[in-house]
């Protein structure tokens, strides 16, 4: 529990539970990285019968208990700090909304606050001529809000993976130019120029619940990169110049190759094997 691992020991109630208990204990020792051969090798049923083996087992588990408590303590402190940061961010966002919408803070209650916010938001929306068509137009239950929050976390993970993949492709592309001896000598200079630009490209995705709630319906339409509308904006004079003289069919198929001359076949037949 302190380490946050899945392996656990179930108590023995009958003699039939001895073997499953020893198997679970062996799995736990393996996960904890036990290097004592007397505890991880040999017959499972006789491995812990001696007094010496049991003392070694207790010493190993007690040593891990100390480190597990320290690990759990650090984790709890980190989680507590993250909760405080989240509350601070939420409080700052709420204060910013109250200031921007000129909400009356005198005798302010939660119900009164949201009532004023709703009124102010409706007033602001009336000022727009063309409102975006929102995807999600229904009221959500408490459980559904949790589902939306979980989706936002999954999207952050997915976008982070995509960003890492694009950066890795960029790294591989730059590395592919380092093969020659002349360029290898210039590698430190190239890296000094490349790394600052790469650091600026590092992306930390931040998709919040409000981003999902405000998603417009146009997100449902996926435009292919090869579509005519997209290609229209990528055409230029240089592309047409470079691609103008390229033949439509380069040939080179084995079925279209001419047969060798007869004298070549004769020479091949006479060649020593």
Q: Are 157 and 204 in contact (CB under 8 A)?
A: no
Q: Where are the beta strands (DSSP E) in the chain?
A: none
Q: Are 161 and 204 in contact (CB under 8 A)?
A: no
Low-confidence winner among 78-82, 131-135, 155-159, 238-242 (lowest mean pLDDT) = 238-242
Structure confidence by residue, pLDDT tens digits, 63-99: 777 777 777 777 778 878 878 887 888 788 888 888 8
C-alpha–C-alpha distance, residues 206 and 245, integer Å: 47
3-class DSSP state of 216: strand
Q: Are 142 and 134 in contact (CB under 8 A)?
A: no
Q: Are 135 and 216 in contact (CB under 8 A)?
A: yes
Residue 9 has pLDDT above 60, yes or no: yes
Structure confidence by residue, pLDDT tens digits, 219-261: 888 777 666 776 676 666 666 655 555 556 666 666 666 766 6
Question: Cα dihedral sign for 30, 34, 35, 38?
Answer: negative
């Amino acid at each position: 529990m302190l380490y946050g691992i899945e392996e656990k020991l179930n108590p023995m109630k009958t003699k039939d539970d001895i073997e499953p208990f020893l198997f679970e204990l062996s799995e736990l020792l393996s996960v904890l990285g036990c290097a004592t051969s007397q505890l991880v090798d040999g017959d499972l049923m006789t491995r812990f019968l001696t007094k010496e083996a049991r003392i070694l087992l207790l010493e190993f588990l007690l040593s891990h208990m100390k480190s597990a408590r320290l690990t759990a303590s650090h984790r709890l402190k980190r989680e507590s700090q993250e909760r405080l940061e989240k509350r601070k961010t939420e409080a700052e966002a709420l204060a910013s909304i109250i200031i921007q919408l000129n909400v009356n803070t005198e005798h302010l209650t939660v119900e009164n606050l949201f009532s004023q916010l709703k009124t102010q938001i409706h007033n602001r929306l009336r000022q727009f001529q063309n409102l975006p068509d929102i995807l999600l137009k229904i009221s959500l239950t408490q459980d559904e809000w949790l589902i939306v929050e979980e989706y936002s976390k999954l999207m952050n993970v997915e976008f982070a993976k995509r960003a890492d993949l694009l950066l890795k492709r960029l790294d591989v592309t730059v590395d592919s130019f380092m093969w020659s001896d002349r360029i290898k000598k210039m590698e430190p200079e190239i890296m000094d120029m490349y790394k600052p630009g790469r650091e600026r490209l590092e992306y930390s995705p931040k998709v919040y619940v409000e981003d999902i709630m405000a998603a417009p319906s146009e997100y449902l339409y996926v435009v292919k990169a090869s579509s005519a509308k997209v290609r229209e904006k990528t055409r230029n004079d240089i592309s047409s110049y470079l691609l103008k003289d390229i033949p439509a069919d380069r040939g080179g198929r084995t079925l279209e190759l001419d047969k060798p001359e007869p004298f070549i076949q004769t020479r091949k037949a006479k060649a020593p094997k």
